[in-house]
A and B are shown apart, each in its own frame.
Chain A
Amino acid sequence: ETGVTQTPRHLVMGMTNKKSLKCEQHLGHNAMYWYKQSAKKPLELMFVYSLEERVENNSVPSRFSPECPNSSHLFLHLHTLQPEDSALYLCASSQDSGHTTDTQYFGPGTRLTVL
């Protein structure tokens, strides 16, 4: 049990749908992250929030829209996705994203399939 939960665990959506992924951390951390893991590729960082402010956006298409209403919750809003966006989306949290030794703890992920 890592203390980071994600819902839903599986999601199938059409290219015209709008859906949201939810992440919640119960660790009292200040930073939260969204990662994407595509088949046969390394984990790719998408967004970083520190104290509810976005501090990193790694050139992610605008069809992915993050939201961090408080330090415990993180959302990823999805709209007009493409089939190549099918992947495992992982949420993580850490105590303070500014320290080199800061360790990130991951949720179980949402397996997204775009038809």
Chain B
Amino acid sequence: DQQVKQNSPSLSVQEGRISILNCDYTNSMFDYFLWYKKYPAEGPTFLISISSIKDKNEDGRFTVFLNKSAKHLSLHIVPSQPGDSAVYFCAARSYGGSQGNLIFGKGTKLSVKP
């Protein structure tokens, strides 16, 4: 049973528009969430994170929103650029959980078209 779900396997967006990647989770004990980006033939690269005490964290073109009541988080990329085309993974960790135990979603492949 997946605790972190990314229900959209792929997303296509026009350059300059907003990309919104979604992630749902089931474990209410999760209190720290991360987004990773992965290009082909490379390992995942850390992008942005958010603690459960916040509902928004922003870093340049990337913003992560957390809705704890809905157990939902989203990553907004604006404006989207062709170089953003990659697979995006959502991950979560619970306080007091097993050390280092990040739970990952299956990923969403984002394609940004020029």
Contact = CB atoms under 8 A, between A and B. Distances in A.
Contacts, number: 74
Interface in B45-78: 45-46, 49, 51
B101 A109 contact: no
Contact of A97 (B32, B42, B99): B99
Interface stretch (A11-19, A41-49, A65-73, A76-84): A41-49
Contact-size category for B: 20 to 34
Interface residues of A, number: 32
A103 B34 contact: yes
Nearest to B90: A42
A62 B32 CA distance: 31
A33 B81 CA distance: 32
B25 interface: no
Closest 10 CB pairs between A and B? A106-B43, A97-B100, A42-B104, A43-B104, A48-B100, A97-B99, A106-B44, A108-B43, A100-B32, A107-B43
Interface of A: 2, 4, 6, 9, 31, 33, 40-43, 45, 48, 50, 55-56, 58, 90-92, 94, 97-98, 100-109
